[in-house]
């Protein structure tokens, strides 16, 4: 929480998406965030998961608390809201390990549900951003040179194919559009001094609808946050878009 508040104060983002809250619904720090100017909507879950959207440019109006397609799925991995003229989908896609197995099957099924819903969002014509931890390394450019992750669910051909299917709908991968040939990382595992060695992965993505892709101005990764005490293994990823004429 201290790292989050410090980052909000320094970076002053207009809209923020958080994943893996690891807080029950009633334990989300909404008051503390409101004290620093951010209204929030969230879907918590005890121990694991959890997603939230914060805004200092108007109240987020929830349009969905769940990803459609499986009424039996109780994991808190998706929330969607209208904010400042945008539709924001906040995503915490399943990790899928160990694979093969039920967790990997769940990951791929969740990806299929996301693709069905993202197609409807695309067809709506609304300005949409699908942002979050997709738990997929799209290409070999998105991971440090290594074979140690070869069997991980994040890099499996099925995971990468599912992500490509989203892009084939027309969505623009904002960070890759800005840095087409660079190794950009958003995650550094705690083990084996991967942060110290800059042995990173790009797991966190912004997908932009067609009517926002040409409004993308800049973006990046606030890498230094990963080096703070008690830091997340993910660093904040950000983009700036022009949404007013």
Cβ-Cβ contacts under 8 Å for 226 (sequence gap 6 or more): 188, 195, 232, 233, 234, 235
Of the pLDDT bands very low, low, confident and very high (cuts 50, 70, 90), residue 244 is confident
Residue 41 CA, distance from chain mean position:
16
Please pick, among 38, 133, 173, 185, the residue that the annotation labels catalytic: 133
Is residue 222 flagged as an active site residue? no
**CB 128, CB 167: distance < 8 Å:** no
What is the value of pTM for the model shown?
Answer: 0.97
For the chain, the structural domain boundaries read 1-65, 93-241
What is the pLDDT at residue 124? 97
Please pick, among 38, 92, 134, 163, the residue that the annotation labels catalytic: 92
CATH architecture of the domain with range 93-241: 4-Layer Sandwich (3.60)
Question: C-alpha angle with apex 114: 167 to 127, nearest 5 degrees?
Answer: 65
Alpha-carbon distance of 199 to 7, in angstroms, equals 23
Is residue 133 flagged as an active site residue? yes
The tens digit of pLDDT for each residue in 200-220 reads 999 999 999 999 999 999 999
The tens digit of pLDDT for each residue in 133-184 reads 999 999 999 999 999 999 999 999 999 999 999 999 999 999 999 999 999 9
Alpha-carbon distance of 170 to 164, in angstroms, equals 10
**CB 78, CB 64: distance < 8 Å:** yes
């Amino acid at each position: 929480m201290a790292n989050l508040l410090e980052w909000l104060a320094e970076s002053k983002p207009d809209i923020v998406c958080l994943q893996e809250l690891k807080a029950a619904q009633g334990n989300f720090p909404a008051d503390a965030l409101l004290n620093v100017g951010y209204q929030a909507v969230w879907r918590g879950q005890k121990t694991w998961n959890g997603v939230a959207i914060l805004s200092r440019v108007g109240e987020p109006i929830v349009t969905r608390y769940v990803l459609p397609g499986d009424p039996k799925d109780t994991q808190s991995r998706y929330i969607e809201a209208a904010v400042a003229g945008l539709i924001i989908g906040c995503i915490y896609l399943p990790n899928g390990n160990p694979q093969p197995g039920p967790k990997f099957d769940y990951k791929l099924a969740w990806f299929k549900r996301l693709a069905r819903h993202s197609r409807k969002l695309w067809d709506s014509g609304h300005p949409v951003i699908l942002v979050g931890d997709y738990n997929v390394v799209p290409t070999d450019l998105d991971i440090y040179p290594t074979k140690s992750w070869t069997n991980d669910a994040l890099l499996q051909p099925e995971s990468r194919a599912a992500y490509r299917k989203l892009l084939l709908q027309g969505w623009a991968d904002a960070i890759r559009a800005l840095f087409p040939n660079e190794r950009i990382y958003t995650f550094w595992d705690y083990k084996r001094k991967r942060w110290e060695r800059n042995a990173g992965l790009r797991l966190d993505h912004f997908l932009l609808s067609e009517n926002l892709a040409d409004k993308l101005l800049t973006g990046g990764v606030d890498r230094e946050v990963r080096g703070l005490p008690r830091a997340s293994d993910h660093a904040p990823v950000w983009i700036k878009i022009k949404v007013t004429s």
